[in-house]
Structure 1
Amino acid sequence: MGTMPSCGVCGLFVLLSVCLISLTQPCEGGNILVYPLDGSHWINMKILLEELHARGHNITVVRASTSWYIAEESPLYKSITLEMEEESSENFFDSYLKEHMRMQREGASLLSFFKLTKEFLSMLSQVHVMWSEALAQMLDDENMVKSLIDTQYDLVLTDPGIATGVVLAKFLKLPTVLNVRWITSGDGQFALAPSPISYIPVPGSGLTDKINFMQRVKNLFFYGLMLFQQSVMIGPTYDAICHKYIEGGCDIISLLQEADIWLFRSDFVFDYPRPTMPNVVYIGGFQCKPAQPLPADLERFVQSAGEHGVIIMTLGTLINGLPQEVAEEIASVFAKMPQKVIWRHKGMRPSTVGNNTLIVDWMPQKDLLGHPQTKVFIAHGGTNGVQEAIYHGVPVLGIPLFFDQFDNLLRLQDRGAAKIIQLADVNGHSLEQGLKEVLLQDSYRQHMQRLSRLHRDQPVAPMDQAIFWVEYVMRHKGAAHLRTEANKMPWYSYHSLDVLLLLLTAAALLVLSALTIFWLLCCRSRRKTKSKQH
């Protein structure tokens, strides 16, 4: 009896020791240089940085002085700010969207659409030029270069949608980890893994993996456009900076292929099956977490919806607002719905807004998607929003705007979990019909919840996968053994055309030799026959 108190003290000591051990960082902190992309790409990059910071790593972020979202001061990281001219791309997207919608509705000529598309691609090309010039200024600054070298970074973590990060990594001779889905010219997997376009849809084609003959022709056309964009519109910008600062020169595609690990923001619950490589780690939905409680006033609004539930709508970070006449029609449709509506809308407040609609500048999207009252998500189809909808099992009514958004929504629609309304077709009637279809046909929710179950049923959480492979590269100073040598082969060797040519030549020589011998034997036989006759 007298020993029990001391045993209790010992048990408490053991418990405290276990708690302290569990709080100890699992590995020594490293120095990570981060070269991110702004906008929605930064949102998921920041989530990854928060986890790396929590595990004791020191982070330095390269940012533009004109950055929309990447703060200069942060408890997560130190920053290196590159001075850049103010870019008007945020307003450009609003203007482009309104003009594109007007042209589609009024039936503008093909030439007008071509001109608008050319302006869009030129704007994107100019962004690459601006970042290349900013990197050149950085590398021309001897003090800056010395500081980068002296810091002894362990790796560069970059989003290759803008490819200056991989050029910097090459210059500093550092291992590279890509937080990637899109590269300078489209889906990153096309640059890395075998990608038969007979069944793998090219971004922008609007195709699924079930492709008939004419669709394969269309897919080939879009593949050609992707190659043209890379080789003619974007590649030369980076070739110039590569040849100036990288010994022996380089090109962006080869630098991407040299990356040690690709943390790929997708998975095969969402995407179509395709060939891949051992240094590609699929982390689709890594930013998703269980929903947190809503702010008290928002929770009251959501609960006031009762059995009808809530509709949430947002069109992402690049667009401030739809054309006013479209916003008026959308608001009037919402006003007729029995559901409550939470709408992220930064334009002029529509006059037709009903009492059931709450217009906000910002919403806790992930927490709303995870709320049991949420019935439908009206979204533009950005990768983050689509993956969060899958995670929480909320069906989607999609209104794609540009970039990869239609292709993202098409993958959900192909699986029965979403319905798409083209931007030009958005009006009161189409929106009301689409909303009622997704709300009343339970198949949409059932299909999305099935995708959610598949996505969540993984042996290792996507975030843990991402952190493991970042630290793996730091521990082993790279992961060269996971990279294929195929990327260093000329195209004719990769497709074994040289081997095929050798075999065809040998076969031709063999046949020719056989024919020659046969001809000689025939000639000899004829000569013998003639000599006997004489």
Structure 2
Amino acid sequence: MGLSNLGPGRSVVLRAAFLLFVFVQSSNGGNILVFPVDGSHWVNMKILMEELHGRGHTMTVVRASSSWYIKETSPLYSSITIEDSMKFDDFFDDYLKRQIEFLKGQASVLKFFSATWEFFVMLSDAHRLACKMLERMLDDPDLMKGLQDEKFDLVLTDPAISAGVMLAKYLKIPLVLNARWICSGEGHFAIAPSPLSYVPVPGSGHSDKMTFSQRVKNALFYGLILFQDMFVVGPHYKTLCSKYFDAECDVLAYTQAADIWLMRLDFVFDFPRPTMPNVVYMGGFQCKPSKALPDDLEAFVQSAGEHGIIIMSLGTLVKGLPSDMAHQIAAAFAQLPQKVIWRHLGERPSTLGNNTMLVQWMPQNDLLGHPQIKAFVAHGGTNGIQEAIYHGVPVLGVPLFFDQFDNLLRVRERGGGLILELSELNRRTFHESLQEVMHNPSYRANMRRLSRLHRDQPVAPLDLAVFWVEFVMRNKGATHLRTDSYKLPWYAYHSVDVILTLLSAAGLLLFTIFAAIRYVCHRMCYRKKMKHD
């Protein structure tokens, strides 16, 4: 039963009791080594770190010299900066342009495969450079001695890039993952049974209710994950293993051996699936009640009157859509009576209306929680979708790449929004889709229902995440929650050896019975023949 059903007084008392318990348990601050992933992943990690810092824990962050968002100096942490050469610059903008050309039939299949290959090369380079960065650390005896002398209580890392996992293994320190993705794909597939009959593989574009042909496609996409693991990402970690670890070194096994998985989703958002005791669901942990907007932004919002506002953001990886597509969107916005706040870093569209404000940054959570909000145009990043659910705001999704279509699919399946694919986007379709999302009350009603379900929890997701981080520190790990099934060979995990043994035994038994019957029949026939003679 959620606390909202216990009555407001009792709910407040229970929450206060839990927070008091956590505060008392964390009064002796721990020492945490953090190995984050840059970009939007760092946004998530920083929120968790702010809460840990507020409860008295000391943190040291390993960062690359080329980092986009992870600052070298911060009141939250001290840092170790490792020289690297990780430069992707405009890769994602260029990749998006080629993808749009293919979707609109303006590029050949050869160009599509060329762009896909370039993506795999980029992915491979990201992991190769991360491994090189870790090599520089492991080859520096003074640095490694300093890390060992620090006596860290645990390593907190995002396993989408698994250098932090390898470092935790090398230092023999308990490991907590701030995860949804690992280097070989979605994290659940590595630690929990994931039947392809009803667990959709990221990228397949399916829900948990699949037809036969969709299940075939799902299996093929799973094969793509295996290919990525074996040939794109895995070789870099194998090289690292052969140089610094023992013969049984395996980055996937080290990831599976993590003490706690802090999973950035919940089942209000995701489809039901098998899970494990050491998986802690903290979906929406970054969400919080909205704060007052800056004066200039509040004045613009209030100028919308009864029509309200729309906000649009396409995340941090791309500067914006191609100019022709941006012009179409701007023209569609100009037709609306609503005011629009659009996070757009590209060229200013010539069709921009007076009702639209372009910004380089927006307080997204505060805008989504504002009473004037009518709709959220989003690319489908996990953070934005969870914030929309938290505040009960309907979504018009414009997925770009990665898991974004899958995230938006989950919202659409629950009746909380629509998806407009890039191949279909123009001024008319964008305008019509926005009108549908804003004026059909079912979308807002469904998102508000999801918001109530998400909030109806005994403990806030962020408090739960911090509790389990501190649990690992207090108990030097959480091995009692972790299965060792990952140590089994594939044939033992799937009981292939047991099935073959039982089938062989059954076959032997049937053969014996058949042979005995044949022998008896043969003897009887022989006796009859002898009597007849």
The answer as to 2:134 corresponding to 1:146 is: no
Post-superposition shift, 1:243?
A: 2.4
State the 1:102 CA deviation: 2.3
Residues 387-407 of structure 1: per-residue CA shift (max 9 Å, x gap) = 000000011111101110000
TM-score of the pair, normalised by structure 1: 0.94
Per-residue Cα deviation, 1:358-408 (whole angstroms, up to 9, x for no partner): 111100000000001011000100000000000000111111011100000
Q: Residue in 2 aligned with 1:453?
A: 452
Q: Distance in 1 between matches of 2:163 and 2:26?
A: 32
Residue 255 of structure 1, CA deviation: 1.0
Amino acid in structure 2 at the alignment position of 1:32:
I
Distance 2:432 2:366 in 1: 27
* Structure 2 CA distance for partners of 1:239 and 1:53, relative to 1, 3 Å: same
How do residues 140-179 of structure 1 correspond to structure 2 at under 5 angstroms? 140-179=139-178
Q: 1:21 to 1:331 in 2, by over 3 A?
A: closer
Asked if 1:180 corresponds to 2:179, the answer is yes
What does residue range 10-89 of structure 1 map to in structure 2 within 5 Å?
26-87=26-87, 89=88
- Give the distance between the partners of 1:81 and 1:348, measured in 2 at CA: 34
**1:411 is the counterpart of 2:410:** yes
1:63-88 deviations in Å (ceiling 9; x for gaps) = 1000000000000000011101140x
Partner of 1:6: none
2:86 and 2:239 map into 1 onto residues whose CA distance is 23
Contact 2:392 2:451 in 1 (8 A): yes
Kept after mapping to 1: 8 A contact 2:123/2:232: no
CA distance in 2, matches of 1:25, 1:372: 38
Greater displacement, 276-285 / 497-506: 497-506
Contact 1:25 1:55 in 2 (8 A): no
After superposition, the C-alpha distances for 1:243-266 in whole angstroms (9 at most, x for unaligned) are 221233411211111000000000
Does the C-alpha gap of structure 1 residues 22 and 389 become closer, same or farther in structure 2, counting only changes over 3 Å?
closer
Structure 2 Cα separation of the partners of residues 300 and 86 of structure 1: 41
Q: Is the 8 A contact 2:332 2:430 kept in 1?
A: yes
Q: Give, in angstroms, the shift of residue 348 of structure 1.
A: 1.5
Aligned counterparts of 1:240 and 1:21: Cα–Cα separation in 2: 45
Residue identity over aligned pairs, in percent, reads 61
Offset, 1:509? 1.7
Q: Deviations over 1:17-65 (max 9, x none)?
A: xxx9998784311110001000000001000000000011010011100
User: Could you tell me how far apart the structure 1 residues matched to 2:177 and 2:324 are?
Assistant: 41
DSSP-derived class of the 2:226 partner: helix
Secondary structure in 2 matching 1:61: strand
Q: How does 1:440-479 map to 2 (within 5 A)?
A: 440-479=439-478
- Corresponding residue number in structure 1 for 2:421: 422
Match of 1:512 in 2: 511
More displaced stretch, 244-253 vs 494-503: 244-253
SS at match of 1:217: helix
Per the alignment, residue 482 of structure 1 pairs with: 481
SS at match of 2:62: strand
Q: How far is 1:533 from its partner?
A: 4.3
Q: Which amino acid is 2:32 matched to?
A: I
Distance (Å, rounded) in 2 between the aligned partners of 1:236 and 1:124: 12
Aligned counterparts of 1:409 and 1:21: Cα–Cα separation in 2: 37
User: Secondary structure at 2:34's aligned position in 1?
Assistant: strand
Distance in 1 (alpha carbons) for counterparts of 2:101 and 2:484: 49
Q: What's the secondary structure of 2:90's corresponding residue?
A: helix
The residue aligned with 1:10 is: none
State whether residues 90 and 319 of structure 1, in contact with CA within 8 Å, keep that contact through their aligned partners in structure 2.
no
Task: Say if 1:217 and 1:479 are closer, same or farther in 2 by CA, change over 3 A.
Answer: same
Aligned-pair Cα RMSD in Å: 1.6
Equivalent residue number for residue 338 of structure 2: 339
Partner of residue 395, structure 2: 396
Mark the runs of 5 or more structure 2 residues left unpaired by the alignment: 1-19
* Distance in 2 (alpha carbons) for counterparts of 1:209 and 1:48: 31
Q: Determine the structure 2 residue equivalent to 1:102.
A: 101
Could you tell me which residue of structure 2 aligns to residue 502 of structure 1? 501
- Kept in 2, the 8 Å contact 1:170–1:246? The answer is no
